[in-house]
Structure 1
């Protein structure tokens, strides 16, 4: 990592098991683009090949990209957690530049938060649309909290489209389509991980992320948005 430290956002995820085993993962992001700054990596395993259970909507060409960018960046975590069951209790401490989060929880919940951070910043062209949310990364967020933040980020994206003279998507149909695509990614990535001999921790962490995608895909409707609209009555 050679970038100026003032241009880097860092999240440190520290997992402490009840038997005192401890592991820390440091996530470094470009402060301007929020792109992941990869650390030193060994030769990637075969399951990271782009064509290995490649997502059905993946726009990457195997002739140009030999590896799935998300898979490559998750190797260290997948390897470390492969022997631990998903229900193992851990204390997860996340140190960010602004604050510290701590929670005693299941391993799958802690890993799910870390996995989501990597999936949004690794360079997947579809998951990149979630990258603006990383500016306000909220570990252990509830599904309704995440849904609210997703809506806010998507509507802000439409504002920027409008400012560029493009047609904004104010009926949010594009948000539904985006999360259908993300569900396809989650399912394909689950198959990718299921093809290797690991514990259920990584698989269940991904299932937790997919629950949010499903909630979003089904909740972008008039009734759900009507409930949220009541919070904005001061504007009407």
Structure 2
């Protein structure tokens, strides 16, 4: 791991120092700054990992070594952001970004400079910040970053994707609320780790399955494309971000 301030994000697109709305700020996740604070809160709420294909983690080193260093930083198509709620002040120096409370994590994956596409994912919002403005503002900031033209400070991509376990109805509703359109349900899309029974597609396996005991996931695929964005999608997202919730 690089020293604080020189951490190699290793992302295929230009990385902003911060993405910010009136109520939320996103900064690139740096383990030495953010890992301990997030893990200390997340370990009390393992349910936030139920529908994710990873976690929960037993120790902060496991979280960093497995997810951050073992997956995200190795892949130039992935990046993680820390989410700070600017409306909640804290005096905890381990939890602050200009005195704002750490609310969770969000990221980007399956990024393709060739195809001008990206996926919003790695959404891990701490329970006390759920059903507030945090998720909508974090996702809205990433949509602006992805779909706004470079002249407006964005990447100018053509497609932003959201994928969710079909049983994670809250995630699908969140996506649709932000203007994502359901494109398909991908049947048997993922083989999940052996301890993810609560997130399975509820279908049995064949005798002789080479990964017996690892349940399957059906995935809802949703998207916002540049033409959606330019024909009212941007204004819709901004209206959601501006709502007092």
Higher helix share: 1
TM over 0.5: no
What range describes the TM-score normalised by the shorter chain of this pair? 0.3 to 0.5
State the TM-score, normalized to the length of structure 2. Answer: 0.32
